[in-house]
């Protein structure tokens, strides 16, 4: 309102005319205002958090602030986010202003009188009754100040709390929450992922989204899309003004940290999702078909040592359950092998069988009668397992007779199953020695990516002669504590995945448990690679000679120091074993000539499990018999 209009209002005892976008500072004392209202302008604020913090400061403890708006606005003047969402999204945006400015009891309402006309929306919040300094960090020296800890925001009608950067997804998430059929949920999930700021979509490795060569013209054309986490965007967000308050809650800028913060991604983004969209067949009139191949939904461990990366995930283990309110009455235990995640399925497209297989973040597709090794030759790099997994899945398919293939197709395609597996490569050992490449199946996922009962899954593997990990199912929950001790004490395996099951045997949660031996060896391996192996392979033993070749020396002393610090911080009793490995390897290294030294360093990179086993054997430590 302008000054002339305010001057004509005889009920006013005082008024101020001020551009709040230029100067979002209120000329009122702390705690001097009982009520603040704003009509039809909250959508035009360009510094909303500054203004809302001023409102909270000026309000008395418990004071009320009310923002009202309709569904009309000037598109060229409102903030960009306002144009991207509907009425519910507008309420969410304003509610987020209250939430992240320290208000309490935030609520949103739609006001209708029964008369036709524009709806009125009201979002309100109360200043906190407790007297505290919200920006207490400003009282500290700059180098000691810590960011406030924020939490995702609850939005009415949406069962997943949202991060500020997820508010533009409100309409798609509401569609997901209200979806009745599997197809409706699938479409809503894809809409969410395509618009999510921390998801990227790619085509084949090294290429863009594009046509697929299936090795059979009868399948026509199709496009492939591979969805994966965009950790670069997430790391940048944690450093900006919006994301910084969430950094401590994430525990680290890793995929574990992202899943810990985002309930939306825990629901919508499994560990790898690929979409193949087949074109309609004009000659037969058949509609196009979409095939989604997904991996496990993200799950976490029970303690910090169960995770490979620093995060706060294990502190919120229950948040990763598929059915948080369901009670687990039984559990199943499957061995966690030391390989790469893989997946395999088959679908009928235009009456033709099509195989799909790949690693966690990739998926290849080919006609069942084509040769995948010609379409996607397995490379020499064992760190790219997708083509190798596809080749092994093709072997299983070709080993069956026609009757067996048809039975497999009917079961898998008919149920919309995806088979999950671990691919172990002898040329890329993690912690344990691997003599030859092999795969082991671990689970079956249903049409929505949830695991079927392990008894059913493993009976299916046995029926079709598919190699599988060890599994014990139907164990009573009172046996869980003692079983955890057994898994943590193991020295011959990475650990186990526990399937917590309800009375019907349906999994309600997955939990991973890592053996102490594995966690210790993995931490040793990473520090050893970073400080010793990588510098040598970039320098003296690099295949690509550069002016700096030979100038990058291993930091033996630094490796010992960093390993001791890491172990003292997390696993104090393991420090001497980790440092002992560095000293043992240095003695082996020093005793060789330059040619044999390079061989040893390459072995330490590709066959770390074997090298670590040799150390344990010579030092008479657990694990020497692996």
Asked whether residue 444 is assigned to any structural domain, the reply reads yes
Could you read off the pLDDT of 379-394 as tens digits, one per residue? 756 668 899 999 999 9
Domain shared by 312 and 381, yes or no: yes
Asked whether residue 176 is assigned to any structural domain, the reply reads yes
Of 127, 147, 178, the one marking the end of a domain is 127
Beta bridge partners of 286: 281
Asked whether residue 149 is assigned to any structural domain, the reply reads no
Domain shared by 534 and 569, yes or no: yes
Asked whether residue 247 is assigned to any structural domain, the reply reads yes
Domain shared by 390 and 293, yes or no: yes
The answer to whether 86 and 152 are in contact (CB under 8 A) is no
Domain shared by 484 and 523, yes or no: no
pTM score of the predicted model: 0.74
Alpha-helix residue ranges (DSSP H) falling in 100-201: 170-178, 182-195
Domain shared by 229 and 273, yes or no: yes
Asked whether residue 34 is assigned to any structural domain, the reply reads yes
- What helix, strand, coil percent values describe the chain, rounded to 5? 40, 20, 40
* Position 131 pLDDT exceeds 50: no
Asked whether residue 92 is assigned to any structural domain, the reply reads yes
Q: Which pLDDT score is estimated for 205?
A: 41
Domain shared by 309 and 457, yes or no: yes
Could you read off the pLDDT of 562-572 as tens digits, one per residue? 666 555 444 55
Q: Which pLDDT score is estimated for 140?
A: 31
Q: Which pLDDT score is estimated for 279?
A: 79
Of 102, 127, 152, the one marking the end of a domain is 127
Domain shared by 98 and 203, yes or no: no
Q: Which pLDDT score is estimated for 142?
A: 32
Domain shared by 487 and 508, yes or no: yes
Extract the tokens encoding 10: 């005889």
Q: Sorting pLDDT into bands at 50, 70 and 90, what band is 176?
A: very high
Asked whether residue 144 is assigned to any structural domain, the reply reads no
| CATH number of the structural domain spanning residue 468 | 3.30.470.30
d(CA 413, CA 447): 10
Could you read off the pLDDT of 317-359 as tens digits, one per residue? 888 888 765 678 899 999 987 788 999 999 998 888 999 999 9
The answer to whether 412 and 419 are in contact (CB under 8 A) is yes
Domain shared by 413 and 334, yes or no: yes
The answer to whether 33 and 59 are in contact (CB under 8 A) is yes
Asked whether residue 200 is assigned to any structural domain, the reply reads yes
Domain count within the chain: 3
Domain shared by 216 and 351, yes or no: yes
Nearest to 503 by CA among 328, 325, 324, 321: 328
Q: Which pLDDT score is estimated for 136?
A: 30
Show the beta-strand stretches assigned E in 381-516: 418-424, 438-445, 471-476, 495-501, 507-514
Long-range contacts of 585-590 (CB under 8 A, 24+ apart): 585/528, 585/532, 585/611, 585/615, 586/556
Of 517 and 538, the structure prediction assigns the larger pLDDT to 517
d(CA 250, CA 4): 51
| CATH number of the structural domain spanning residue 96 | 3.40.50.150
**Which residues constitute the domain of residue 16?**
3-127
Angle at 252 between CA 494 and CA 582, to 5 degrees: 50
* Position 117 pLDDT exceeds 70: no
Backbone angles phi, psi at 9, to 5 degrees: -90, 105
Domain shared by 377 and 469, yes or no: yes
Of 127, 146, 173, the one marking the end of a domain is 127
Extract the tokens encoding 388: 């190798």
Domain shared by 488 and 570, yes or no: no
């Amino acid at each position: 309102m302008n000054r002339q209009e305010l001057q004509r209002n005889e009920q006013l005892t005082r008024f101020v005319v001020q551009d709040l976008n230029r100067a979002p500072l209120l000329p009122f004392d702390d705690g001097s205002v009982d009520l603040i209202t704003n009509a039809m302008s909250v959508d035009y604020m360009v510094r909303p958090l500054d203004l809302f913090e001023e409102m909270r400061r000026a309000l008395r403890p418990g004071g009320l602030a009310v923002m009202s708006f309709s569904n009309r606005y000037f598109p060229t003047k409102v903030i960009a986010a306002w144009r991207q969402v509907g009425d519910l999204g507008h309420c969410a945006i304003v509610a987020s202003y209250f939430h992240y400015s320290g208000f309490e009891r935030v609520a949103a309402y739609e006001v209708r009188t029964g008369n036709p006309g524009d709806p009125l929306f009201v979002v309100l919040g109360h200043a906190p009754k407790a007297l505290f300094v919200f920006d207490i960090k400003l009282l500290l020296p700059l180098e000691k100040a810590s960011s406030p800890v924020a939490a995702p925001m609850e939005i009415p009608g949406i069962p997943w709390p949202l991060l500020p950067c997820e508010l533009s997804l409100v309409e798609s998430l509401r569609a997901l929450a209200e979806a009745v059929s599997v197809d409706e949920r699938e479409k809503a999930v894809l809409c969410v992922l395509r618009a999510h700021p921390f998801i990227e979509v790619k085509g084949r490795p090294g290429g863009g989204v594009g046509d697929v060569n299936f090795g059979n013209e009868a399948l026509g054309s199709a496009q492939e899309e591979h969805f994966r986490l965009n950790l670069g965007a997430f790391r940048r967000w944690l450093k900006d003004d919006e994301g910084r308050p969430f950094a401590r809650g994430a525990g680290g800028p890793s995929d574990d940290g992202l899943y810990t913060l985002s309930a939306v991604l825990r629901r919508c983004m499994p560990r790898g999702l690929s979409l193949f969209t087949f074109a309609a067949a004009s000659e037969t009139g058949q509609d196009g078909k979409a095939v989604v191949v997904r991996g496990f939904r993200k799950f976490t461990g029970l303690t910090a040592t169960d995770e490979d990366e620093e995060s706060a995930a294990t502190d919120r283990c229950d948040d990763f359950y598929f059915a948080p309110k369901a009670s687990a009455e039984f559990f199943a235990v499957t061995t966690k092998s030391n390989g790469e995640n893989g997946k395999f399925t088959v679908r009928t497209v235009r009456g033709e069988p099509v195989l799909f297989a790949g690693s966690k973040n990739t998926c290849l597709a080919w006609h069942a009668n084509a040769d995948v090794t010609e379409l996607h030759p397995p490379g020499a790099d064992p760190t790219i397992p997708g083509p190798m997994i596809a080749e092994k899945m093709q072997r299983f398919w070709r080993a069956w007779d026609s009757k067996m293939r048809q039975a497999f197709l009917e079961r898998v395609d008919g149920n919309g199953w995806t088979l999950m597996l671990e691919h172990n490569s002898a040329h890329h050992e993690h912690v344990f020695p691997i003599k030859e490449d092999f795969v082991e199946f671990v689970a079956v996922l249903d049409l929505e990516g949830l695991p079927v009962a392990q008894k059913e899954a493993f009976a299916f593997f046995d029926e079709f002669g598919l190699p599988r990990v060890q599994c014990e199912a139907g164990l009573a929950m009172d046996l869980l504590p003692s079983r955890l001790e057994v898994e943590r004490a193991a020295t011959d395996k990475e650990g186990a995945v526990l399937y917590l099951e309800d009375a019907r045997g349906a999994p309600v949660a997955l939990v991973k448990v890592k053996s102490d031996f594995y966690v210790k060896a993995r931490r040793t391996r990473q520090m050893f690679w970073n400080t010793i192996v990588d510098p040598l392979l970039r320098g003296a033993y690099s295949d690509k000679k550069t002016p700096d070749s030979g100038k990058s020396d291993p930091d033996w002393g630094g490796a010992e120091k960093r390993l001791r610090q890491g172990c003292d911080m997390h696993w104090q009793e393991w420090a001497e074993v980790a440092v002992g490995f560095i000293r043992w390897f240095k003695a082996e290294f020093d005793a060789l000539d330059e040619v044999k030294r390079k061989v040893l360093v390459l072995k330490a990179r590709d066959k770390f499990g074997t090298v670590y086993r040799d150390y344990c054997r010579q030092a008479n430590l657990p694990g020497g018999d692996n």
